[in-house]
Amino acid sequence: MSRLSSLAIPAAILGLAGMALADSHVSDEVAGAVNIRQSHMSLYGFNLGPLAGMARGRMDYDAEIAGAAAANLAALAAMDQAGYWVEGSSNDDLEESEALAAIWDDPTGFEERMMALQLASADLAAVAGNGLTELQAGMGPVGQSCGGCHEDYRISDN
């Protein structure tokens, strides 16, 4: 703790109010973990983009693009993420995170949400290249997996 409390002094001298001071107890490691998991989420979003575009008719269906995006999504969902969902990294601890402390109060529920996406994205990857109707059917459970977890474990539930 001594190293951390000594950080508060230069922060105060620099006049870094609010966020910087509130975050001064958070280690670089924890802040880095938040960054990495947000990047993982961005990759989910990036790959979901064309799939949702096609499913909603905003983009022409392309079997190759759909298959590749769905395979990426399934691979991402299957990755072990334990290293960056570290305790003490919720929005209670640092403003940059939108993760609710409920993740660590209810780890089983959170893991179930992860597993739901893993299964739904694997199902989607198996059919996404087979046609628009198959893609649309597979997208429902994937969207619900993203949204369901956000509803319970993320501040803004979108």
Q: Which residues contact ligand HEC by CB under 6 A?
A: 34, 37-38, 41-42, 44-45, 48, 73, 97-99, 110, 113-114, 117, 142, 145-146, 149-150, 153-154
Nearer to ligand HEC, 41 or 132 (CB): 41
For 151, the token pair is 């509803």
Output the smallest distance, CB 11 to ligand HEC, in A: 22
For 65, the token pair is 């693009």
Output the smallest distance, CB 154 to ligand HEC, in A: 4
Residue 121 contacts residue 70 (beta carbons within 8 Å): yes
For 73, the token pair is 């999504």
Nearer to ligand HEC, 1 or 82 (CB): 82
Q: Which residues contact 96 (CB under 8 A, 6 or more apart)?
A: 23, 31, 34, 35
Output the smallest distance, CB 131 to ligand HEC, in A: 21
